[in-house]
Chains A and B, each alone.
Chain A
Amino acid sequence: MKFAGGFSIGQFIPGESFVHSLDPRCKIAAAFVLLGGLFASSSPPDFIPWILCLAACSRASRIRFSSVLRSGRPVLFLIVFTVALNLFWTPGREIFRLGFLRVTQEGLAAALSMGLRLYLLVMFAAMLMMTTSPMSFSDGLERLMSPLRRLRFPVSEMAMMMTIALRFIPTLFEETDRILKAQISRGADFESGGILKRTRAFIPVLVPLFVLVFARAENLATAMESRCYVPGAPRTRLNPLEWSRRDTAALVCSAVFVIFSLLWNRHAAAAISSFVTWPV
């Protein structure tokens, strides 16, 4: 039984690439711009520039493209489910029939588009998390959300909560994996029997996990309090974020790419679609 062994979506990979060195605010903003642009793409040929853009981002971040693509495996089931739903339940011109399931030309195009869009969304979000450490991600988010302070929104507390959550998610996965393995090695069987038996089999995993989580939370709270942390109180930063020209350039490039992709959708992709009779 595997739990955390294959979990790598959005896991930070330390590096010294161009993308790693960008300001987290720039990366978050660029990700939003790109993800927004991705929603404007609807037919399969529209996604050609996006795949090339992802490959370019992967190269600029010095993370192998094949590894980036594979890291989306945890959401593959969701994507396959969406593709199947679109493939078999979209009305239109029938290509072939498999019992009660009809595959239409429109369904094929919708399934491809939806699958590509979902996968690319996950990949771009994963690229952001792979190249941004949890600490700098929450720092960036806190700075981007700082205008909300005027509306009395607890930005610092939110950022601290996010930092702690992001910091402890991998630890919790590791702990769960370790407890799971420890119980398996003592003969626990999580894979056979009915739903009730399987659910009960997880008690020896959940009890130690809860004990551990509460102990950790208690220790963390004490450690923070002993180091004078006061929620909402102003704090200085050891490494203040600094916006540079390369951040501006990266953000402008992202915006230009989105404009290019919109033009591509209107002209080139439309031409390809009419050639292969994809409905646009």
Chain B
Amino acid sequence: MSLTAEKITYSYNEGTAAERPALRGVSVFVGRGGWVSVVGHTGSGKSTLAQHLNLLLTPKSGKIEIDGKTAVPGSSGARELRRKVGLVFQYPETQFFAETVREEIGFAPSNWGLKKDELEDCVRAAAAAAGLTPEVLESNPFRLSGGQRRRVAIASVIAMKPDYLVLDEPTAGLDAAGVRDLTRMLNEIRAGGLAVVQVTHDLKSALEHSDMMLVLEKGREIYAGTPEETASYLAEHPVKGLVLPPLVRFAGRMRQSGFDIPIISGIPAMLGALSEGARRI
């Protein structure tokens, strides 16, 4: 059971004077319960890839497979397959339209024809998973704080009970506490068996939580590997717009100066590795 994008190529405004290539043969794979981070600078094609995973765009070449089934965007089966992949857009709170949080979260399951009692259970479960208290359900979503709005937006997607959750820059516009809470929430959701594909330019978050990472630049896949491998690669081959956490950068410089210090993505592990290296020196 997996979500796979294979050699996806896509251009915006194809065939017109304004044609702009966005993806050139990009592949990504995530199994159930996995966490893959797609990182890259603005305009690298991350959001375009996220939209392909939700079958919102039709690739020029390549294919999307959801649980072994080839998904054809626009086909009759695409809507059913799309349900398995929830997509949280960047600044998802701008898609709100309902008067209450309950209605907003219930939008997706009602589109799938859930009965009233099932719908209520579904809304409550999604709100709880996103860390929202029952009282918030009666609030106006436009009057919530930034962090809470983001939680409502995520709850409105997980209410569809997807198997894969694709998040486009989920921490954009949040303060440090908001980022920490959101990351904790995503880890809890993932512990429930949901696979996460996170599109971000926040390397720190990607290095700390992912199983695998994919680095994009100008629509091309330039590196794919574990967070450790990716951190080592980026320490030696800096990519414009991607800033490594200071400790990882420091370890990379030490390695370039001849010190045998491993590059580990997690900050506590990195501190341990550095003190171990210092002891050896």
With A187-B79, A188-B111 in contact, do A8 and B94 touch (Cβ < 8 Å)?
A: no
Q: How far is the CA of A7 from the CA of B107 in the complex (A)?
A: 29
Q: How large is the interface on A (under 10, 10 to 19, 20 to 34, 35 or more residues)?
A: 35 or more
Q: How far is the CA of A67 from the CA of B16 in the complex (A)?
A: 4
In angstroms, how far is the closest chain A Cβ from the Cβ of B254? 43
Q: Which of A41-49, A200-208, A251-259 contacts B (4 or more CB under 8 A)?
A: A200-208
Q: Which of A104-112, A158-166, A174-182 contacts B (4 or more CB under 8 A)?
A: A174-182
Give the number of A-B contacts (CB < 8 Å).
91
Q: Is the CB of B87 within 8 A of A204?
A: no
Which residues 175-225 in A have Cβ within 8 Å of B in the complex? 175, 178-179, 181-189, 203-208, 211-212
Bitwise interface map of B from 148 to 184 toward A, beta carbon under 8 Å scored 1, else 0: 0000000011001000000000000000000000000
Q: Is the CB of B56 within 8 A of A181?
A: yes
Bitwise interface map of B from 53 to 97 toward A, beta carbon under 8 Å scored 1, else 0: 010110000000000000000000001001100110100101111
Q: Is the CB of A184 within 8 A of B16?
A: no
Q: Which residues of A contact B112 (CB under 8 A)?
A: 187
Q: Is the CB of A71 within 8 A of B17?
A: yes
Whether B15 is near chain A, meaning CB under 8 Å from some CB there, is yes
Among A184, A186, A207, contact of B160 (Cβ-Cβ < 8 Å): A186
With A6-B13, A187-B79 in contact, do A67 and B86 touch (Cβ < 8 Å)?
A: no
Bitwise interface map of A from 54 to 92 toward B, beta carbon under 8 Å scored 1, else 0: 000000000110111011010000000000000000000
Q: Which residues of A contact B15 (CB under 8 A)?
A: 66-67, 70
Q: How far is the CA of A101 from the CA of B83 in the complex (A)?
A: 47
Q: Which residues of B contact A234 (CB under 8 A)?
A: none
With A5-B12, A185-B54, A189-B111 in contact, do A208 and B94 touch (Cβ < 8 Å)?
A: yes
Q: Is the CB of B56 within 8 A of A185?
A: yes
Q: Is the CB of B16 within 8 A of A185?
A: no
Whether A95 is near chain B, meaning CB under 8 Å from some CB there, is no
In angstroms, how far is the closest chain B Cβ from the Cβ of A178? 6
Among B19, B51, B83, B156, contact of A67 (Cβ-Cβ < 8 Å): B19
Q: Which residues of A contact B92 (CB under 8 A)?
A: 182
Whether A273 is near chain B, meaning CB under 8 Å from some CB there, is no
Q: How far is the CA of A187 from the CA of B95 in the complex (A)?
A: 13
Q: Is the CB of B142 within 8 A of A211?
A: yes
Bitwise interface map of B from 101 to 129 toward A, beta carbon under 8 Å scored 1, else 0: 00000011101100000000000000000
Q: How far is the CA of A184 from the CA of B88 in the complex (A)?
A: 12
Bitwise interface map of A from 26 to 57 toward B, beta carbon under 8 Å scored 1, else 0: 00000000000000000000000000000000
Q: Which residues of B contact A211 (CB under 8 A)?
A: 94, 96, 142
Q: Is the CB of B13 within 8 A of A207?
A: no
In angstroms, how far is the closest chain A Cβ from the Cβ of B145? 17
Q: How far is the CA of A92 from the CA of B89 in the complex (A)?
A: 58
Whether A130 is near chain B, meaning CB under 8 Å from some CB there, is yes
Among A71, A178, A186, A188, contact of B16 (Cβ-Cβ < 8 Å): A71
With A182-B92, A183-B95 in contact, do A13 and B108 touch (Cβ < 8 Å)?
A: no
With A63-B17, A71-B16 in contact, do A186 and B157 touch (Cβ < 8 Å)?
A: yes
With A185-B86, A185-B87, A211-B142 in contact, do A204 and B17 touch (Cβ < 8 Å)?
A: no
Whether B278 is near chain A, meaning CB under 8 Å from some CB there, is no
Q: Is the CB of A130 within 8 A of B17?
A: yes
Closest chain B residue to A12, Cβ basis: B18
In angstroms, how far is the closest chain A Cβ from the Cβ of B186? 18
Whether A11 is near chain B, meaning CB under 8 Å from some CB there, is yes
With A179-B95, A183-B95 in contact, do A67 and B17 touch (Cβ < 8 Å)?
A: yes
Q: Which residues of A contact B157 (CB under 8 A)?
A: 185-186
Q: Which residues of A contact B108 (CB under 8 A)?
A: 186-187
Q: Is the CB of A187 within 8 A of B111?
A: yes
Most buried by A among B16, B79, B86, B107: B16
Among A63, A70, A184, A204, contact of B97 (Cβ-Cβ < 8 Å): A204
Q: How far is the CA of A49 from the CA of B80 in the complex (A)?
A: 53
Q: Is the CB of B97 within 8 A of A208?
A: yes
Closest chain A residue to B162, Cβ basis: A185
Name B residues whose Cβ lies closer than 8 Å to a Cβ of A: 12-13, 15-19, 51, 54, 56-57, 79, 82-83, 86-87, 89, 92, 94-97, 107-109, 111-112, 142, 156-157, 160
Name A residues whose Cβ lies closer than 8 Å to a Cβ of B: 5-8, 11, 13, 63-64, 66-68, 70-71, 73, 130, 175, 178-179, 181-189, 203-208, 211-212
Supply 12 further A-B pairs (C-beta < 8 A) apart from A186-B107, A212-B94.
A8-B13, A63-B17, A67-B16, A181-B89, A182-B95, A183-B107, A184-B82, A185-B87, A187-B160, A188-B107, A207-B96, A211-B96
Pull 5 A–B residue pairs with CB atoms less than 8 Å apart, ordered by A: A11-B18, A182-B87, A186-B107, A188-B107, A204-B97
